[in-house]
Chain A
């Protein structure tokens, strides 16, 4: 394994800027790494054929003296839910097999404009519906820590690519935890920004009021650097916030330098610190709290009584919005068309039957039920009220604490097939991450160690009030530094050699 693939994006960027390494060399090292390990990991659905060409163009611009962005020349992997000109964008579904979009998603366009080099598209649960990548129509991604286990989902491909050193950075999307839970179970870092902080233009929609694009990386600073590139107002997304955002990289760097957390109030959400969670997850979580306390933070217990309704509300709102969003796959404008005779409606129904996998059908039918006459108020209307109650819980909690924390997921990576036969069990895996999506607040997962019973990574979730994403990067970078001092290096250095 080339040393170039183990560098953080920030370190690689520094070497690119100083001329010690070229983007072509860095890109080639990652393509070699993909060729060596992706047959086992299966993080990628598509590897770009033009990455070296793009890298050479960046090198040429740098050589000509042009001032480039900090991440220029750094390779990046892109979740297949994001539209990319010149690369297939399938969202993990057969119905979009081979489809090449006519435009780039805004986060992709911004990444390109900043000079990052796209390595390819990463695997995911079909249309981002799942927590394990087992619902990808193209086969699951394997967790680099243990090939018998899931890499999380839906963005298991992006998390595994980063954790297996097949990319220093990746883009993900998070509707109910699809960035944070994969980060947790692969020992990587993932951030779901404030709703509206990153444009959704060109992100194939799952649930429009919950979806948010965000960064996946191996360090808090790297996530911040990528967030700085992709974030900010986009007139093409009517839910995009017009805020002037601070530099998240600066917040992360300040956090990494901070010698004390004095004055920081860390709220432990009682309802997300469940005795039902895996013992090793709870143990590492409480050890991390002790580390924060030892460094000056004040721990306060907060209660969010309506969080227990969050999963139920989510599994009404998400299918309802998804059933509407996925109506666009009608066999007319893009994607596959089943070879059957009949009316356009017959063709449409046969195409959707053949093109969608079981989880997608399950959620479309569920959403159709929740929105149907006579049930709308009982399900969708009630779920929207629960959303208000959860927002109120967050507001009350943030009066007592600057950030809220919890384990990022109830368990470490589970084995393939463990929850496949029981959709409800799979849904409950997102209990810790869903509240942030319902309320629109930002959340981060960062690794805090390995569970003693299985030696697998445990994630720590930090949540901040809406628009306060910088707080995540500050606190996250401090905690990361304290942990890495105790480990003698990053957690992923302890991962099995592939």
Chain B
């Protein structure tokens, strides 16, 4: 059985930056437990002699020449932002008061 508890889900939600409600934490605890138990079977055949595949068709050293090109303008880059001052994104305080 998996070790998915409400505390684990709460911690994962903090890592993932999602303010889950207590109800969602309860529901996800049960659902994730079932899913994790199911996907754990991957370890049955993953023996040490089998190499890992990260990309199906591996390419290596994909470089391009470092030349200036046309990129987004500041205006374009800011166009979809919830809040900006014309040259920068605006966010609320990065540090909490006690920090």
- List A residues at the B interface (Cβ < 8 Å): 99-103, 194-196, 209, 235, 238-239, 241, 306, 309, 312-313, 315-316, 323, 327, 330-337, 341-350, 352-353, 356, 358, 361-362, 364-366, 368-369, 372, 378-379, 381-389, 391, 423-424, 427, 437-441, 466
Contact = CB atoms under 8 A, between A and B. Distances in A.
Interface of B: 4, 8-9, 12-21, 24, 28, 31-32, 34-36, 38-47, 50-57, 59, 62, 64, 72, 76-77, 79-83, 89, 91-96
Contact of B36 (A195, A366, A388): A366
B46 A382 contact: yes
A362 B13 CA distance: 10
A19 B98 CA distance: 73
Given A102-B76, A332-B89, A382-B43, A315 B53 contact: no
Contact of B42 (A194, A335, A366, A382): A382
A125 to B, nearest CB: 17
Contacts of B47: 385
A346 B8 CA distance: 20
Contact of A361 (B18, B56, B82): B18
B82 A388 contact: no
A439 B56 CA distance: 5
A421 to B, nearest CB: 10
Contact of B53 (A196, A388, A424): A388
B53 A361 contact: no
B13 A365 contact: yes
Contacts of B38: 312, 315, 424
Contact of B17 (A235, A238, A330, A342): A330
A333 B64 contact: no
A491 to B, nearest CB: 32
Contacts of A361: 18, 20, 24, 28
A378 B41 CA distance: 10
Nearest to B41: A312
B35 A365 contact: no
Nearest to A394: B56
A386 B41 CA distance: 10
20 contacts: A239-B62, A241-B57, A313-B39, A316-B39, A332-B81, A337-B82, A349-B19, A352-B16, A353-B19, A358-B24, A361-B20, A361-B24, A362-B28, A365-B9, A365-B28, A379-B40, A379-B43, A389-B50, A439-B56, A441-B56
Given A361-B24, A366-B35, A385-B50, A195 B57 contact: yes
A368 B12 contact: yes
Which of A239, A241, A441: most chain B Cβ within 10 A? A239
B56 A440 contact: yes
A385 B52 contact: yes
A441 B56 CA distance: 8
Nearest to B20: A353
B22 to A, nearest CB: 12
Nearest to B2: A369
A280 B45 CA distance: 33
Given A195-B56, A439-B56, A102 B79 contact: yes
Contact of B81 (A333, A365, A378, A427): A333
A383 B42 contact: yes
A250 to B, nearest CB: 24
Nearest to A390: B53
Contacts of A323: 16
Contacts of A439: 56
B96 A343 contact: yes
B57 A333 contact: no
B11 to A, nearest CB: 9
Contact of B50 (A194, A335, A388): A388
A337 B55 contact: no
B54 A369 contact: no
A398 to B, nearest CB: 14
A209 B52 CA distance: 13
B83 A350 contact: no
B82 A424 contact: no
Contacts of A368: 12, 15-16
Contacts of A381: 46, 52
Contacts of A343: 92-96
A323 B18 CA distance: 11
A100 B76 CA distance: 10
B25 to A, nearest CB: 10
Which of B20, B35, B44, B46: most chain A Cβ within 10 A? B46
Contacts of B51: 385, 388
A350 B18 CA distance: 7
Contacts of B31: 362, 423
